[in-house]
Structure 1
Amino acid sequence: MSITPAGTTVPYTVTWLEMTQRPTHGWPRQPLSGTASLLRAEAPPVWYFLDLYSAVGRDYAWEDMHERSEAELADWLESAATSFHTLMLHGWPHGFFMLDRHMFEVCDIAYFGLVPQAIGRGLGRFLLQTAVMTAWDMPGVEKVTLKTCTLDHPRALQLYQRNGFVPVRRSEHSRVLVRPLDSSRVPA
């Protein structure tokens, strides 16, 4: 495995996606790998969010939230317009999603992901469908949105599209890595 060192500028593409109709499939079935619980945190502490954010995003250059002040993050996490949900399985967090309702009639899946140990166990589809249905159950929602980038899991965009999201915009960006990154994650 080759490593792209911290300090390297890497290019990436962001894709914005949206869903304008509630899915017809309904709520997903519990994963077969054990009894899962989805817990909504009420005004979670900043450390809890950052720990899960780091655990999920470490391999995908999720670094932006570490640049925000603790006060700014606390305000966002405590806002009535945001909700933070943790997927618990076997007594420990396997992933999370965060919904953001700061835009009228739109619910954005601001963050979504699994910790590395949970990937490949069929939990991603369950968690995404749960996030989507939770978003659509919020009063006044007319559209659910999310974004992904080429630094995210290589199957992320496919997962979103298979579950009803449609790409609506793309843009090119670059960032300086704060931590080393597996070179296979860096777009050519």
Structure 2
Amino acid sequence: MIHRAGERVDYVVTFLEMDARPASPRPPMPVGPASALLVAERPPVWWFLALYDAVGSEYEWTDQHDRPRPELETFLADPAVTLHTLMRAGWPHGFFALDARERGVCDLAYFGLPPEAIGQGLGRFLVETAVHAAWDRPGVARVTVNTNSLDHPRALPLYQKAGFAPVRRETRSRVLTRDRASVGD
């Protein structure tokens, strides 16, 4: 079924948690082109939004564009928030943002790969790296993430393979910004 831009659709948000550090070691960098995982220091809003759009434009990631710029600047400048970019062959192949502003919790607030990087085995590397980086933060007792049925269909299984367990689901609705073949279940 085709859903058109401007149409209101229901989607399901799945909230997941992990309450213990994974037993597996930190994954090695995948073989292939020159690669580096970079942590941005006080990244500018445009860099975050460029990554956010590269990954999420096909999945209705639009909310951060509605957030007041000063609020987004404050979020990105907070020392409890870190933005990591996987650079490979000279361009961003994925990113994740960790938000540890809540005591004892580190949220994998943003995660993904742009369409051109999907299918290269980088998602598993990046999510496992994000999980280890989250657990490396002092005082973390729980790591959280959420995904929804508008996201890439492999997002939920990827999080579960990385050790996250669903803890609740919510149905929400939104107006689509682009045509979509489906909205998941």
Q: Give the structure-2-normalised TM-score.
A: 0.96
**Do 2:83 and 2:98's aligned partners in 1 also have CA atoms closer than 8 Å?**
yes
5+ unaligned residues in a row in structure 2: which ranges?
none
Please name the residue that 1:149 is paired with: 148
In the TM superposition, what whole-angstrom CA distance separates every residue of 1:111-159 from its partner, at most 9, and x where no partner exists?
0000000000000000000000000011111111000000011011111
For residues 89 and 75 of structure 1, the distance between their equivalents in structure 2, rounded to whole angstroms, comes to: 28
For residues 102 and 133 of structure 2, the distance between their equivalents in structure 1, rounded to whole angstroms, comes to: 16
> 1:61, CA displacement in angstroms?
0.6
- The answer on 1:166 being equivalent to 2:172 is no
For residues 85 and 3 of structure 1, the distance between their equivalents in structure 2, rounded to whole angstroms, comes to: 35
**Do 1:3 and 1:180's aligned partners in 2 also have CA atoms closer than 8 Å?**
no
2:184 is matched with which residue: 161, 182, 187?
Answer: 187
For residues 145 and 41 of structure 1, the distance between their equivalents in structure 2, rounded to whole angstroms, comes to: 21
Secondary structure, aligned partner of 2:151: coil
> 1:69, CA displacement in angstroms?
1.2
Secondary structure, aligned partner of 1:108: strand
Q: Which amino acid aligns with 2:126?
A: L
Secondary structure, aligned partner of 1:169: strand
Aligned length: 185
**Do 2:44 and 2:73's aligned partners in 1 also have CA atoms closer than 8 Å?**
yes
For residues 13 and 161 of structure 2, the distance between their equivalents in structure 1, rounded to whole angstroms, comes to: 18
Please name the residue that 1:122 is paired with: 121
> 1:102, CA displacement in angstroms?
1.3
For residues 128 and 181 of structure 1, the distance between their equivalents in structure 2, rounded to whole angstroms, comes to: 28
Q: Which amino acid aligns with 2:128?
A: Q
For residues 19 and 87 of structure 2, the distance between their equivalents in structure 1, rounded to whole angstroms, comes to: 29
**Do 1:11 and 1:172's aligned partners in 2 also have CA atoms closer than 8 Å?**
yes
> 1:5, CA displacement in angstroms?
2.6
Secondary structure, aligned partner of 1:181: coil
Q: Which amino acid aligns with 2:99?
A: D
Secondary structure, aligned partner of 1:158: helix
- Percent identity, please: 56
Q: Which amino acid aligns with 1:30?
A: M
Runs of 4+ in structure 1 displaced over 3 angstroms? none
For residues 82 and 187 of structure 1, the distance between their equivalents in structure 2, rounded to whole angstroms, comes to: 30
> 1:175, CA displacement in angstroms?
0.4
In the TM superposition, what whole-angstrom CA distance separates every residue of 1:81-102 from its partner, at most 9, and x where no partner exists?
1000000000000110000011
**Do 2:18 and 2:144's aligned partners in 1 also have CA atoms closer than 8 Å?**
yes
Q: Which amino acid aligns with 2:134?
A: A
* Root-mean-square deviation over aligned CA pairs: 1.2
For residues 156 and 35 of structure 2, the distance between their equivalents in structure 1, rounded to whole angstroms, comes to: 25
